[in-house]
Amino acid sequence: MQARLKAIPKSQSGGWHLYFLHVRLNRFGLIIVIYVFAKDSVVFFALSFLLVALLNYPPPKHDETP
């Protein structure tokens, strides 16, 4: 699974910023794009990077031994 985060400033004069989180699931070949309008970029980046870290983190292997 791969995740990328990009930021596009809509206006430099205290305007809204358009952030989109691009997540690509290699296993299923799905592409998910999430558009978020955020005023506070610091909070958005904190949550987004946490989400990206969780998405990029390898899933725990299930122990099938009894």
> Exposed, middle or buried by CB within 10 Å (0-12, 13-18, 19+), for 48?
buried
pLDDT digits (tens, 9 = 90+) for 18-65: 555 555 555 544 444 444 555 556 666 677 777 777 666 665 566 665
Contact 19, 48 (CB under 8 A): yes
pLDDT of residue 31: 43
Could you tell me the pTM of the whole model?
A: 0.30
3-class secondary structure, 12 = coil
- Name the helix (H) or strand (E) containing 1: none
Contact 3, 55 (CB under 8 A): yes
pLDDT digits (tens, 9 = 90+) for 8-30: 555 544 454 555 555 555 554 44
